[in-house]
Structure 1
Amino acid sequence: MPVLPQIAGYADELTAIRRDFHEHPEIGFQEVRTSGIVAELLRKWGVDEVHTGIGKTGVVGIIKGNGEGGRTVGLRADMDALPMDELTNLPYSSKNPGAFHGCGHDSHTAMLLGAARYLASTRNFSGTAVLIFQPAEEGLGGARAMIADGLFERFPCDEIYGMHNNPLAPPEEFGIKPGPAMAGATFFDITINGVGSHGAMPHHSRDPIIIASALVQNLQTIVSRNVEATEPAVFSVTQIHSGSAYNVVPDKAVISGTIRYFSDHVRDVIHQRAEKICAGFAEAYEVEIIADLRPTFDVLMNDADLAEAYREAAGEIVGAAKATVTKDLMTGSEDFADMLKVVPGAYCTLGHKGDVPVHNPGFLLDDDMLPIGASIMARIVEKRMPL
């Protein structure tokens, strides 16, 4: 089965919708225009229920199938843009400075809208489809906000599915990994409160820059000397901030970065070692060091059976040869993991033309993927809740 004919018939409309979102990007929890258009289109296409304001700017649509059945399948897409400038020079480039759909969430929203339109018009399934349009995926906790707002109490799901574009995979290639698939992530800020002095008299100081330099070196030993070699993990210091003048030893330095891991045990080991190292440095250098470690993303765990069901559904659209199972772990993170901790499900990638990675100011998305992704999403609903 190729792209579903009904969806192929309005592929150009999906492209126009996606490019409109692209031209007017909104960062996390500010997706007022985007969520408004989503809700308007869902109502226009006859979705049974449309609920707004869930997790601040989230939208949920409900579609009931033609057949009797009490099962419920959820489909989720994220809507937010990244806080970065666009350098693509596209005719529909971002009109909002400092905001850019550099991760392709505009395509995810458009694909779920395409699936919603199809499902609302055909209803060739038993049970209920729950369409979840999530805000603030990019590190701001949009999934957790929707869950805290009663997402799954108000709209129970037996299983749930998500999708992400992948410019580094061959076009139309569906990829999925059962079990742990994407890393959990902690963001951290370590503040060193030292003692400042004149730059010519550093012996009067407790120099936070010297302490920060040594601390970074020690933090980098945590993974190599505390985590088993068979357990993948990453500890990256990505920022050091301190000082304001040539002749002043500052009184404060801040080290920031991210930690990635694929198990809660490894996360806990890294956190504990980082906190102990900071405490030891504070005592040794007679300063205050505050370690703020914030687990922001959970490890994304795909249910093995549902991952296989997703792959089979995708194979009916892209062909069995392009519906692949991968063994590769992704050290990137995705807050759909929070939803998968509550409801079993699976998360996949879909390849498209282009070789610029996401989160790059020159990232380009191939609109040819839109009807493909929409068809896969629609098909998993039909297969999991057949008439």
Structure 2
Amino acid sequence: MSLKEKLFKQLEENEGRMIEIRRHLHENPELSFKEEKTAQFIEEFYKDKDVTLTANVGNGYGIIVEIEGGAGDGPTIGLRADFDALPIQEEADVEFKSKNDGVMHACGHDGHTAYMLILGEALIDLKDEWKGKIKLIHQHAEEIPPGGAKSIVESGILDDLDEVYGIHLMPTLDNGDITLCPGEAMTGRSNFDLKIQGSGGHGAMPHTTHDALVAGGYFITSAQTIVSRRMNPNDSVTVSITAFEAPGGYNVIQDSVTLRGTVRYLSMDNKEPVYEEMVKIVKGLETAYDVECTLDYVYDYPVLYNTVEKIGEIETVLEESAGTYFDKVYRDKPQAASEDFAYYLEKTPGAFIFVGAKPEGVEKAYPNHHPKFEVNEKSLLISAKAMAEIVLNKVG
């Protein structure tokens, strides 16, 4: 029996455990930087196994598990799975619903961790048959900036990686599909808060005020011209105002308003120009409406760039298995969302790929970050096998 056959056999025999782990984590979600019990669960899983485990890596509960292959020298490969949840009240109709009020695994990180634990166990059991070293990166805090990945990279514990790989479950893709995107695959992200301080007053006497609400309304409209009139139409750039906070009564013009939003870009060349254009608009508000503006603009996750060569290698490997444990692998367009896996790829060649996880019997699945988010649990074994093939192509 080949190493691949042995590995696949062990994964198949433990699919039930994989699903049990996923459901346990789903019932007990924890928010970014607060994943204490989740981290304890992961550490306990590796207890008494022949690995080197380093806990509390980076700015939170990050865990690095090192597995030494026994078949000789070879590359050092990093495999990452995140484990934080989101501040969402779950509405999915499942038996293993979140027990933590207002917290939900609405992005599939419970599934990422479950498949990685069982894959890691199989790689440990068979370590005498592969070469090199594998570092399992159990990452905290992917959802909330500054995220966990950047701090793990900066810790230096991954400086010896030759390549790094990750998988994300996507219920909007058909179960059995695996998609690849070479080059720019996910957008970079910046977030901002804008406080507009005016001078409030009586709603019947607006001429005595410096109306922050009007200035805020103008900002919402004019901010859209950053994309439509300042960015190259061939570039992918998005500016979204996601909150406008101005509580008050019928007859009171508020003293100040706060706006919040996000910026996404598929080229790092657009990272600073968007900010520069926003500063111009804010300065214009101050002059036109006689208000004071405070813009807190934070450069966040970079553009996720998949190494083109590595995507080609993955495509070649997986195409040979298409039609067996999954249906098809194909190249797809970039995703508009952002991912802090981008920090690993800034330093180390590798790739981040997507595995379809559409639930059975639905025509249109709920997307990531939705309160009714669900994944097809068959995608866990597909993910484990796909990642196993990627790894074996390097260390087998």
Report whether the alignment pairs 1:118 with 2:122.
Answer: yes
Report whether the alignment pairs 1:282 with 2:293.
Answer: no
Equivalent-residue separation in structure 1 for 2:219 and 2:391 (angstroms): 51
Q: Deviations over 1:100-156 (max 9, x none)?
A: 001110000011112101100112321100000001111331112322333324xx2
Name the counterpart of 2:386: 376
Equivalent-residue separation in structure 1 for 2:19 and 2:90 (angstroms): 19
1:384 partner letter: K
* Pairs aligned (count): 383
Name the counterpart of 1:328: 333
The alpha-carbon deviation at position 169 of structure 1 amounts to 1.4
Equivalent-residue separation in structure 1 for 2:109 and 2:77 (angstroms): 21
Name the counterpart of 1:347: 352
Name the counterpart of 1:247: 251
Equivalent-residue separation in structure 1 for 2:294 and 2:236 (angstroms): 27
Name the counterpart of 2:53: 50
The alpha-carbon deviation at position 322 of structure 1 amounts to 4.1
Could you tell which deviates more after superposition, 316-325 or 278-287?
316-325
Could you tell which deviates more after superposition, 355-364 or 104-113?
355-364
CA contact (8 A) 1:160 1:345 kept: yes
Q: Deviations over 1:158-195 (max 9, x none)?
A: 11000000112121211110000001111111111111
Among 241, 253, 257, which residue is 1:237 paired with? Answer: 241
Among 138, 146, 157, which residue is 1:151 paired with? Answer: 157
Equivalent-residue separation in structure 1 for 2:341 and 2:375 (angstroms): 21
Among 144, 148, 158, which residue is 1:142 paired with? Answer: 148
Name the counterpart of 2:273: 269
Structure 1: state its 5+ residue gaps. none
Equivalent-residue separation in structure 2 for 1:255 and 1:262 (angstroms): 24
CA contact (8 A) 1:233 1:262 kept: yes
Task: Call closer, same or farther: CA 1:319–1:42 in 2, change over 3 Å.
Answer: farther
- SS of 1:85's equivalent? coil
Percent of residue pairs bearing the same amino acid type: 33
Task: Call closer, same or farther: CA 1:312–1:117 in 2, change over 3 Å.
Answer: farther
1:67 partner letter: A
CA contact (8 A) 1:317 1:372 kept: no
Q: Deviations over 1:264-319 (max 9, x none)?
A: 11122211101111112112222211121212211000001111222334345544
Equivalent-residue separation in structure 1 for 2:330 and 2:304 (angstroms): 16
Output the TM-score relative to the length of structure 1.
0.95
Equivalent-residue separation in structure 2 for 1:63 and 1:315 (angstroms): 28
2:204 partner letter: A
The alpha-carbon deviation at position 6 of structure 1 amounts to 0.9
Equivalent-residue separation in structure 2 for 1:208 and 1:6 (angstroms): 63
1:191 partner letter: K
Name the counterpart of 1:301: 305
CA contact (8 A) 1:312 1:323 kept: no
Alignment of 1:76-225 (within 5 A): 76-123=80-127, 124-140=129-145, 141-153=147-159, 156-225=160-229
Equivalent-residue separation in structure 1 for 2:237 and 2:173 (angstroms): 24
Equivalent-residue separation in structure 1 for 2:321 and 2:66 (angstroms): 24
The alpha-carbon deviation at position 380 of structure 1 amounts to 1.7
- SS of 1:297's equivalent? coil
CA contact (8 A) 2:74 2:395 kept: no
CA contact (8 A) 1:172 1:318 kept: no
Could you tell which deviates more after superposition, 221-230 or 282-291?
282-291
Name the counterpart of 2:41: 37
Cα RMSD, aligned residues only: 1.7
Equivalent-residue separation in structure 1 for 2:247 and 2:215 (angstroms): 13
Equivalent-residue separation in structure 2 for 1:109 and 1:314 (angstroms): 22
1:284 partner letter: A
Equivalent-residue separation in structure 2 for 1:299 and 1:202 (angstroms): 45
1:245 partner letter: G
- SS of 1:136's equivalent? coil
- SS of 2:311's equivalent? helix
Equivalent-residue separation in structure 2 for 1:243 and 1:80 (angstroms): 32
Task: Call closer, same or farther: CA 1:27–1:316 in 2, change over 3 Å.
Answer: farther
Point out 4+ residue stretches in structure 1 off by more than 6 angstroms. Answer: none
Report whether the alignment pairs 1:360 with 2:370.
Answer: yes
1:352 partner letter: A
Report whether the alignment pairs 1:312 with 2:316.
Answer: yes
Among 251, 256, 260, which residue is 2:260 paired with? Answer: 256
Name the counterpart of 2:362: none
CA contact (8 A) 1:318 1:372 kept: no
Equivalent-residue separation in structure 1 for 2:50 and 2:141 (angstroms): 24
1:35 partner letter: A
Among 320, 337, 342, which residue is 2:342 paired with? Answer: 337
Structure 2: state its 5+ residue gaps. 360-364
Output the TM-score relative to the length of structure 2.
0.93
Equivalent-residue separation in structure 1 for 2:50 and 2:44 (angstroms): 10
CA contact (8 A) 1:173 1:318 kept: no
Alignment of 1:15-30 (within 5 A): 15-30=19-34
Equivalent-residue separation in structure 1 for 2:86 and 2:343 (angstroms): 20
Q: Deviations over 1:184-240 (max 9, x none)?
A: 111111111111112222212110000011111110111010111111111111111
- SS of 1:4's equivalent? helix
Equivalent-residue separation in structure 2 for 1:66 and 1:380 (angstroms): 19
CA contact (8 A) 2:189 2:262 kept: yes
The alpha-carbon deviation at position 77 of structure 1 amounts to 0.5
